[in-house]
Structure 1
Amino acid sequence: MSMTTPPSTPGGMGGPPPGWYADQGAPGTERWWDGAAWTAHTRPLPATLAMPVRPAPNAPSGRGTAAVIGALLVVPAVIGGVLLLNGGGDEPPPPVATSSAPAPAVTSAAAPTPSPSPTEDPTHVTDQLNGITLPILKGWKKPENTLDDVATVTTDESYECPGDTSRYCDRGTVSSRSVSGTAATTPEALAKEDIATAAKAAYGEDALGNRIHGGIRSHTVVAARPAVVAGRTGYLVRWRVITGKGPGGYVQSLVFPSSLGSESPVVVRFAFDAGPDGPPLSAMDEIMRGIKPIGSSTGGGVGSSIGP
C-alpha cells in the first residue's frame, strides 16, 4: 500500500468520515478511508476534479494563529494613539515606522474533501467502497437502517419471524460487501467458502445470536457456476435451505472482482424466502443483471459471455 498521510481536521478534532481521499503516495489515485484507517481499495482520481486533491496538513496551533492576528491589530491601534496625542493640530503627526515585509498570511487547514459521489438514484443503491450499484426492483426498497453498514436492498413486505414473533423478517434481502479474512483468492473458492456464512446469517442465527427461523436443518446445492457481473467474470453458489420453522429459503453468494483499480473481491449475498410468499427466483437473476459499475449505464450480467 502506498504511504498516505491520514486525514485530519482543524482544532484537533477526530478524522473525517469514511470516503475516498487523494493518495499522496500514488498521484492520480484515491484511496478509501474507513473512518479509522486506510484500506487497500483504490481507484483513479475522477476526471471531474480539475486539480489533484491532496489531504491537507495539520492545522496550525491556536497560539500561532492568535499571535499573527494580534500582530495585525497592533499597528492600527498605535496609529490611532499617535493621532490622539497630537490633538489634531496643524503639524502633521510624525511618521510611524513600518516594515516593508508583507504581513504573514493567516492560513487554516481543513480535512480533505471526499470526491463527489454519484447522484442519488431511487432505482439503485450505491456501494461506493466496492464501486458498484445494486438495482431496486419494483416491490423492493432501500432500508432506512441495517445491522451492518453495507449496501442493502430488501422487499417492501415484512412479516413476523416464524421463530420469534416479536421480530420482523424480510421476504428477500440482497447486500454487497468486501471479501476479507480468508486465504481463498479465486471467485469460485471464495463463493464456495462464503455460502455457509451467508446461509447462517440469513436463516441460522442473526447478528444478535437469535434463531428467528428456528435454525437451519439441512441444505441442498441448487447451482454452482461462473457468472459475469458488472463486466467482470465471477462465480455463484446457490443453496436451498430447510429451517426449523417457516418455509426456509434460498441463499446465494456471488463473488466477482471489483471494477475499481485494486479489483478487490466483492461478494453479493442473496436471501429469498421459499414458498408462494417469497420473491421469485427469477428476481435473483434480474438483480444480478442490474449490478453495474458506478457511473455506468451498461454492464455484464447473467447470460453474458464469459470473458477474461
Structure 2
Amino acid sequence: MTPPPGWYPDPHAPHRQRWWDGTAWTEHRSAPEAPAAPPPGGGAGRTKALVLTATGVVLVAAIVTGAVVLGGGDGDGTTTRTASTSTVEASSDAPEPTPEASTPEASTPEASADDPAVVEDQLNGVTFPLLDGWVRPRHVAQDDVVMTTDGTYDCPAGVGLCRHGMVFSRTVTANDEKSPETLAKADISEAADEAYDRDSLGRELYGGLKSHQVVRSGPVAVAGRAGYLVRWRVTTGKGPDGYVQSLVFPSSVGTESPVLVRYVFDAGEDGPPLADMDRLTKGIRPFGDADTGGGVGSSIGPTD
C-alpha cells in the first residue's frame, strides 16, 4: 500500500516534484522531469531544486471558489469573521501551455486506470469518486486541488472568476498533532478565511465573510479509518452564502500523517448539492482498494 521511493507531485506545491523515500517526504524538490533518483548527499536541510520555468507567458485571470448552502442552520452558534479563497485560470485567449512547460495540469490528480470516474491521490494513499458535475482541475494555481465544479462564473463583487465548488486534499505536516478532531477544529477557521473573504490581491470577491454557524461536527469513518469533520455555514457580503468543511483522518501509507480534505461549496441552486460533501467523504477509499469501506471507525458517523 506504500508508494515506492521516487519523485511525486509535492502535496503542498503540485507543480513541483518532491522525493518520497518510501516512508516519508524528504526536503528534495525538483521539476517534473527531474531524474528518478534523489539528489546526491542526504539531510533535511538541503537546498531545494529550482522549479522549471515555463517557456511562454500565459495570461491569467483570478478565480475564487465558494461554498454550498442548503436548508436552515441547525448549528450551535454564529460568529463574525472575515475570509476568501482565490485561484487562477488561463484566459480564453491565452496560448495552450506546451508539454515541456510547468503547468498546474502536470500535477493534476489522475483518473484510475480501472475506473475513470475515480481521482487518485497516490501521495496520501486515497482515491475520490468523481461525481456528476465535478471535473479534474485545469489551470488552477492553488495547491492541493483534487476536483472542481465544471465551469466558472463572474465573482459577485464584479472582479475575477469564481467556481461553485472545490475540493482540496493535503498532508498535515505543520506540527506533531495527530488528533483528527483537534486538527479539523483548528483548520475550519482558516478554510473559511481562505474561501470567502479576501483573495491574494486583497479583493473581497464575495464582499467579505460576515458570519459563520457550525452546522455539523463529529467523528466519521473515512477509508476505513476514524476521522473527524467540522462544517460551517458562512454568510457573505455579496452573492451566494456557502458551506466550508474540514475533514481529517489518518493516512494508510507512509508515516500515517493525517490527511486534510477541505470542501468549499457555494450556496443556492447553482452550487453543487450539499449532499455531495457526504457522498465524497463516503466514497474516499484506500489507494488500490476501491471496495474498502469498513475497518476502523466504520460504524461511526458525524453528529448534527
Normalising by structure 1, we get a TM-score of 0.61
Correspondence for 1:233: 226
Alpha-carbon distance in 2 for matches of 1:167, 1:291: 32
Correspondence for 2:131: 137
Alpha-carbon distance in 1 for matches of 2:128, 2:213: 27
Correspondence for 1:290: 283
When residues 55 and 279 of structure 1 are mapped into structure 2, their CA distance, relative to the original with a 3 A threshold, is closer
The ranges of structure 1 where at least 4 consecutive aligned residues each deviate by more than 4 angstroms after the TM superposition are 53-58, 117-121
Correspondence for 1:158: 152
Q: Deviations over 1:223-249 (max 9, x none)?
A: 011011111100000000000111110
Asked if 1:167 is matched to 2:167, the reply is no
When residues 244 and 142 of structure 1 are mapped into structure 2, their CA distance, relative to the original with a 3 A threshold, is same
Cα offset, 1:201, TM superposition: 1.1
- Give yes or no for contact 1:127–1:151 (8 Å, CA) kept in 2: no
Q: Deviations over 1:195-253 (max 9, x none)?
A: 00111111122344332111110000000110111111000000000001111100000
Alpha-carbon distance in 1 for matches of 2:175, 2:231: 20
- Give yes or no for contact 1:255–1:265 (8 Å, CA) kept in 2: yes
Amino acid at match of 1:281: L
* Structure 2 residue matching 1:166: 3-state secondary structure: coil
When residues 19 and 128 of structure 1 are mapped into structure 2, their CA distance, relative to the original with a 3 A threshold, is farther
When residues 230 and 279 of structure 1 are mapped into structure 2, their CA distance, relative to the original with a 3 A threshold, is same
Alpha-carbon distance in 1 for matches of 2:255, 2:172: 13
Alpha-carbon distance in 2 for matches of 1:215, 1:125: 32
Asked if 1:274 is matched to 2:270, the reply is no
Alpha-carbon distance in 2 for matches of 1:248, 1:291: 26
Alpha-carbon distance in 1 for matches of 2:151, 2:111: 28
- Give yes or no for contact 1:255–1:268 (8 Å, CA) kept in 2: yes
When residues 209 and 124 of structure 1 are mapped into structure 2, their CA distance, relative to the original with a 3 A threshold, is farther
Give the structure with the larger helix fraction: 1
Amino acid at match of 2:222: V
Alpha-carbon distance in 2 for matches of 1:160, 1:286: 28
Q: Deviations over 1:58-90 (max 9, x none)?
A: 8xxxxxxxxxxxxxxxxxxxxxxxxxxxxxxxx
Correspondence for 2:119: 125
Correspondence for 1:18: 17
* Structure 2 residue matching 1:201: 3-state secondary structure: helix
* Structure 1 residue matching 2:29: 3-state secondary structure: coil
Cα offset, 1:281, TM superposition: 1.0
When residues 261 and 123 of structure 1 are mapped into structure 2, their CA distance, relative to the original with a 3 A threshold, is same
Alpha-carbon distance in 2 for matches of 1:228, 1:54: 37
Q: Whose radius of gyration is greater, 1 or 2?
A: 1
Gaps of 5+ in 1: 8-16, 24-28, 38-52, 59-116
Cα offset, 1:261, TM superposition: 3.1
- Give yes or no for contact 1:18–1:34 (8 Å, CA) kept in 2: no
Aligned mate of 1:194, from 166, 187, 190: 187
Cα offset, 1:32, TM superposition: 3.4
Asked if 1:242 is matched to 2:235, the reply is yes
* Structure 2 residue matching 1:36: 3-state secondary structure: strand
* Structure 1 residue matching 2:147: 3-state secondary structure: strand
Alpha-carbon distance in 2 for matches of 1:151, 1:34: 21
Aligned alpha-carbon RMSD (Å): 3.1
When residues 33 and 122 of structure 1 are mapped into structure 2, their CA distance, relative to the original with a 3 A threshold, is farther
Q: Deviations over 1:135-194 (max 9, x none)?
A: 21111101112223314211113211102x231111111110111324643100100000
* Structure 1 residue matching 2:143: 3-state secondary structure: coil
Alpha-carbon distance in 2 for matches of 1:56, 1:166: 43
Alpha-carbon distance in 2 for matches of 1:245, 1:276: 16
Alpha-carbon distance in 2 for matches of 1:56, 1:278: 45
Amino acid at match of 2:246: S
Alpha-carbon distance in 1 for matches of 2:147, 2:234: 21
Identity of aligned residues (%): 52
Amino acid at match of 2:181: E
- Give yes or no for contact 2:6–2:37 (8 Å, CA) kept in 1: no
Cα offset, 1:279, TM superposition: 1.2
How many pairs are equivalent?
Answer: 213
